[in-house]
Amino acid sequence: MKRNRFLDGLRVLTAITGNDLLMALKNKNALMAFVLAVLMVFFYHFMPSLSSGFVPQRLFVYNAEESALAVRLESSENLSVRT
């Protein structure tokens, strides 16, 4: 019975990938790098909700030609723009 070459290749690829992932999880340096990356994602996701008193950022803009970007920045609620 002839086997499908695609399925054979996929089986080999998943075996190699699984083995590499297992070896990476056994390595303390790789494991710590992964854990720190996940913690950083959670920290930057939840950090805005932790700050109670919102103060808009001050932004100084040199606007010699009245650009559309400066107008949009001035209308932003999150920025205090000075031109």
Give the Cβ contact number of residue 47 at 10 Å: 9
H or E element in which residue 59 lies: strand 57-60
pLDDT at 25 over 90: no
Residue 52 confidence class, pLDDT cut points 50, 70, 90:
low
Residue 68 confidence class, pLDDT cut points 50, 70, 90:
confident
pLDDT at 1 over 60: no
What pTM, to 2 d.p., does this model score? 0.41
Q: Which residues does 24 contact at the CB level (< 8 Å), separation at least 6?
A: 30, 31, 34
State the DSSP code for 75.
T
